[in-house]
């Protein structure tokens, strides 16, 4: 139910933005803000070190500075999109297509969110992690922009070094253990009971270059079973024995 409400709010919010502001302005605002957020998450260790060196910022101030940067980039994207939207050549078309294209953009955004939830369940095993499983977790989380920055480079190096000595219990890793608990207790049951998650995943799966996960990757989704081999009929068995 919660996943369905979230998907509905995202899609309806996208359609409302398209109705009010067309397609180009919200698109550039989203691209600038989400793009800068993805970059900051990817280089979060370096960004935290830079904030510490320049402003002696603690963790809270570093997060605050990152949010300010994301907000400024979104504002710049909105301003650039507004300038383009006011051009006579695109004004009417932008307003007409805004509702539908922003609704589609909302569906794709929901696809990324749901894919990130699925990847969290794949990346973190319920038991313990050895060195190979730590590398696998890093590679799986890197497939989605919302999960790519969960493990910073310092966390990855420390986990890999520790896992080479002895396997690490997932519950003993602050980030991964918390994500595993969140997935088992909240995300997996909500995804399994959602009616819209499978439709969103089916749509996003067929967008070229956007994602490879589909409805079959959701928790509780039926897997294609191999067809049983037909048993030979008595008549064919008798004819085979006579030959």
> pLDDT: is 125 or 26 the higher one?
26
**72: confidence class by pLDDT, cuts 50, 70, 90:** very high
Lowest-pLDDT range, 102-111, 176-185, 207-216?
A: 176-185
Number of CB atoms found within 10 A of residue 119's CB? 23
Backbone phi, then psi, for 20, in 5-degree steps? Answer: -85, -40
pTM for the model: 0.71
pLDDT, tens digit (0-9, with 9 covering 90-100), for 138-169: 788 888 877 876 766 556 666 667 767 777 77
SS3 of 65-99: HHHHHHHHHHHHHHHHHHHHHCCHHHHHHHHHHHH
- The answer, yes or no, to whether residue 232 has pLDDT greater than 60, is no
- The radius of gyration computed from the CA coordinates of the chain, to the nearest angstrom, equals 24
Say which DSSP state 43 is in.
T
The pLDDT of residue 202? 92
Number of CB atoms found within 10 A of residue 201's CB? 24
SS3 of 128-174: EECHHHHHHHHHHHCCCCCCCCCCCHHHHHHHHHHHHHCCEEHHHCH
């Amino acid at each position: 139910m919660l996943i369905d409400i979230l998907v509905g709010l995202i899609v309806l919010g996208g359609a409302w933005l398209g109705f009010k502001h067309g397609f180009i302005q919200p698109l550039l605002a989203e691209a600038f803000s989400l793009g800068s957020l993805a970059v900051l998450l990817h280089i979060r260790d370096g960004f935290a070190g830079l904030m510490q060196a320049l402003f002696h910022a603690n963790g809270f101030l570093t997060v605050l500075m990152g949010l300010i940067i994301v907000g400024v980039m979104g504002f710049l994207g909105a301003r650039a999109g507004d300038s383009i939207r006011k051009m006579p050549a695109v004004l009417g078309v932008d307003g007409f297509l805004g509702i539908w294209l922003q609704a589609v953009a909302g569906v794709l955004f929901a696809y990324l969110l749901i894919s990130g939830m699925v990847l969290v369940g794949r990346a973190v095993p319920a038991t313990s992690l050895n060195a190979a499983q730590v590398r696998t977790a890093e590679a799986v989380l890197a497939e989605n922009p919302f999960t790519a920055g969960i493990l910073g480079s310092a966390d990855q190096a420390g986990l890999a070094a520790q896992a080479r000595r002895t396997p690490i219990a997932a519950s003993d890793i602050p980030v991964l253990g918390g994500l595993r608990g969140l997935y088992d207790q909240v995300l997996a049951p909500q995804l399994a009971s959602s009616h819209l998650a499978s439709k969103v995943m089916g749509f996003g799966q067929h967008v070229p270059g956007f994602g490879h996960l589909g409805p079959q990757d959701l928790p509780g989704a039926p897997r294609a079973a191999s067809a049983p081999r037909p048993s030979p009929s008595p008549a064919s068995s008798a004819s085979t024995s006579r030959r």
